[in-house]
Structure 1
């Protein structure tokens, strides 16, 4: 990976997203799901909720960096709470 000049945290980040995509693909094959309606009143599947979670987490981290300027791992806690809420109610 030297040609990309990745740091270890960057590699872990993208490996985690790749692993999530593989896991969600396996889940979709093994346990097909029908879309459900949540609080947003749109039909979503597990993959849709994963996308909403990843997109929202990116915005949470950017806002955290721009507004709070505090220790960044605290943003991870906010993102985990957000992810739990998305998978539960969206």
Structure 2
């Protein structure tokens, strides 16, 4: 990891993203899904909802840091609740 001067948390973050993409690829192949319409009134698939979750979580973490709302691990709990809501209702 020295070649990119990464820290372990940074590497873990990208490994989790890669694992999510791999998992969702396997799910899409094994269990094809038809798009569904949720609260946003747009058709979304699992992959669309994952993208919305990742993008929203990035903005939530930036807001958490910018507004100094407390320890950063609490932002993870907010992001997990946001992810559950996206996958349930979007």
> How does the TM-score come out when normalised to structure 1?
0.98
* SS state at 2:3 partner: helix
Q: Which structure 1 residue ranges, 5 or more long, are not aligned? A: none
CA RMSD of aligned residues (A): 0.6
Q: Corresponding residue for 2:73?
A: 73
Number of the residue aligned with 2:64? 64
The superposition leaves residues 22-64 of structure 1 with CA deviations (integer Å, 9 ceiling, x where unpaired) of: 0000000000000000000000000000000000000000000
**Distance in 2, Cα, partners of 1:5 & 1:62:** 22
Once structures 1 and 2 are overlaid, which stretch shifts more, 33-42 or 64-73?
64-73
SS at match of 2:41: coil
1:54 corresponds to: 54
Q: How does 1:3-82 map to 2 (within 5 A)?
A: 3-82=3-82
- CA distance in 2 between counterparts of 1:7 and 1:55 reads 22
2 CA distance for matches of 1:74 and 1:27?
29
Q: CA deviation at 1:70?
A: 1.5
Runs of 4+ in 1 over 3 A off after TM superposition: none
TM-score, with length taken from structure 2: 0.98
